[in-house]
Amino acid sequence: MKVLVTGGAGFIGSHLAGRLAEEGHQLVVLDDLSSGKRDQVPGAASFYQMDVASRWTERVVAREKPEAVCHLAAQISVSRSMQDPLFDAHVNILGSLGLLEACRRHGVRRFVFVSTGGAMYGDAETIPTPESYPAAPVSAYGASKLGFEHYLHVFHSVDGLSYAAMRLANVYGPRQDPRGEAGVVAIFSQALLEGRTPVINGDGLQTRDYVYVGDVVNALVAALTSDAVGAFNVGTGLETDVNTLYARLREAAGSEVEATHGAPRPGEQRRSCLDATRARETFGWQPRFILEEGLRETVEYFRGQVALGGAAAS
């Protein structure tokens, strides 16, 4: 199968691109390299350095004629989405919609969209939270992801486009950017290995559902090869508070450094955890990595990056 992966030089996208290449799929990668790295793209892939919101995106789809698209390219900063919601919408809604329209025009069979689970449901009363829970994002980022999911439903209803919106929990693992705001595992790992003191926002009792990038790739591959339509949570169903996460990372890093606590982040969700029953029943997917195992893998990756004196890949 010929697959176009947008954002395929970034954290999750490069892992997905590598898996697809290993499995023998024809691979096309589109990435503007604003955060991704060219050397993370498999050598056999056709590569286009391009913003997904570019007017040239349709030409790529027309030229390459992929059978399936996995759309990861996005504006991913929650704080930036609040500071500049117009830019967030330009990329996450208009850019995505332009790609979707190109797929409709040029016969793409399957469209897999990497959406958000963590920012989709707000402060949900039901934990773990299923897809049936009312979507109530409290950030422009979450709103743009939800908005594009509605467009996917429209294109499916009107034109029959097959799609899956994969609502990811808090993804972590090798290649995550320690300079971002969302990659707390990467941020803590690099700080500990460099002997710096990490800062925990607030009291550290806020919880998240941490899912390893390898498990996420398994879910995306399963969705690409399925005909199931709709939204699907991708998470572990387990809550871990930030204090506990830090303690486990410190143990994996062999560090004695105590974290400090800073001011809480305004508007931050207190609890977030996803019920992935639908993905299990539909795709036969379930997470394989327990948290401690995934954290060890991640710390060892960053240990290598620190030893090389280079910044971690995003």
Question: Annotated active-site positions, please?
Answer: 141
Contacts of 263 (CB under 8 A, 6+ apart): 201, 202
Q: How far is 18 from 253, CA to CA, in rounded Å? A: 27
Contacts of 244 (CB under 8 A, 6+ apart): none
Secondary structure E strands in the chain: 2-6, 26-31, 46-49, 68-71, 110-116, 162-168, 170-172, 199-201, 207-208, 210-212, 230-234, 240-241, 260-262
Q: How far is 309 from 262, CA to CA, in rounded Å? A: 28
User: Which secondary-structure segment (H or E) carries 144?
Assistant: helix 140-159
The residue behind tokens 């460099």 is: 194
Q: How far is 201 from 210, CA to CA, in rounded Å? A: 17
HSE at residue 258, side-chain half, CA atoms within 13 A, is: 2
